[in-house]
């Protein structure tokens, strides 16, 4: 897969297979292409070369309506939150349930309330998103991404801006959800210690190329200099 923005060649021949039911962690330094890769996988950006295949279906061959149907199978939480400021927290989290399913209102409210407890925001349903802190908005975006129990989930920095205790709780929630549903998850996070405590496999992007793909244990034991430096936070090395 190749992706360019003008002369900026962001993804340079990335070849990646994420097994079904896997929690896959994408790591790498800033501007390596991690967020762009997530958006290409979700069908939000088109690659100039290569293809994205989800469960046997090539996204590039789908019409707009078919692509919208495929996206309904995704849960997504990106760095910029993508929340509706004019809605309450509860309305934001309930939005995908109301859009995709025909559920009784009491069930929707019950799911929203439980998800708010899960992300340490109990009682926040009636608050306006515009008045939340960055960390609180992040937790709301995670709650919305997991509310439909989607089978394909993409997370871009799900714990950014959170304190260590809440961050660990978020990662444990994401792992629990993934195991309960059997979802396939791709996650980008700078909080390597906590992310690697829940991942099955890890890929490292470096200057637009996938330089490592293996199990989490293999990533931690890797002697590839760039992988070793990044995973273990070494200050000397090639990055």
Q: How many CA atoms lie within 13 A of 116 on its CB side?
A: 20
Neighbours of 148 (CB within 10 A): 19
Per-residue pLDDT of the chain (239 residues), as tens digits, is 999 999 999 999 999 999 999 999 999 998 899 999 999 998 888 899 999 998 888 988 888 888 877 877 888 887 777 899 899 999 999 999 998 888 999 999 999 999 999 888 999 999 999 899 888 888 898 889 888 888 899 999 888 878 888 888 888 888 988 888 889 999 999 889 999 999 999 999 999 999 999 999 999 999 999 999 999 887 666 66
CATH number of 1-73+151-239: 3.40.50.300
Long-range contacts of 219-222 (CB under 8 A, 24+ apart): 219/27, 220/196
Q: Where in the chain is the domain with CATH 3.40.50.300?
A: 1-73+151-239
């Amino acid at each position: 897969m190749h992706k360019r923005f003008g002369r900026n060649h962001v993804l340079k021949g990335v070849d990646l297979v994420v097994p079904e039911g896997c929690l896959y962690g994408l790591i790498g330094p800033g501007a390596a292409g991690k967020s762009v890769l997530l958006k290409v996988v979700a069908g939000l950006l088109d690659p100039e070369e290569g293809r994205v295949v989800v469960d046997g279906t090539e996204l590039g061959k789908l019409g707009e309506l078919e692509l919208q149907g495929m996206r309904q199978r995704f849960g997504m939480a990106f760095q910029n939150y993508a929340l509706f400021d004019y809605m309450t927290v509860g309305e934001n989290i309930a939005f995908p349930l109301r859009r995709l399913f025909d559920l009784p209102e009491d069930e929707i409210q019950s799911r929203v309330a439980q998800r708010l407890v899960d992300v340490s925001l109990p009682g926040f349903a009636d608050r306006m998103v515009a008045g939340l802190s960055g960390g609180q908005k992040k937790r709301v975006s995670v709650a919305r991404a997991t509310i439909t129990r989607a089978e394909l989930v993409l997370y871009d920095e799900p714990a950014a801006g959170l304190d260590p205790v809440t961050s660990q709780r978020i990662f444990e929630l994401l792992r629990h959800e993934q195991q309960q549903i059997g979802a396939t998850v791709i996650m980008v996070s700078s909080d390597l210690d906590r992310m690697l405590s829940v991942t099955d496999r890890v890929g490292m992007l470096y200057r637009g190329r996938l330089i490592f793909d293996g199990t989490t244990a293999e990533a931690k034991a890797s002697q590839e200099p760039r992988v070793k430096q990044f995973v273990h936070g070494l200050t000397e090395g090639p990055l």
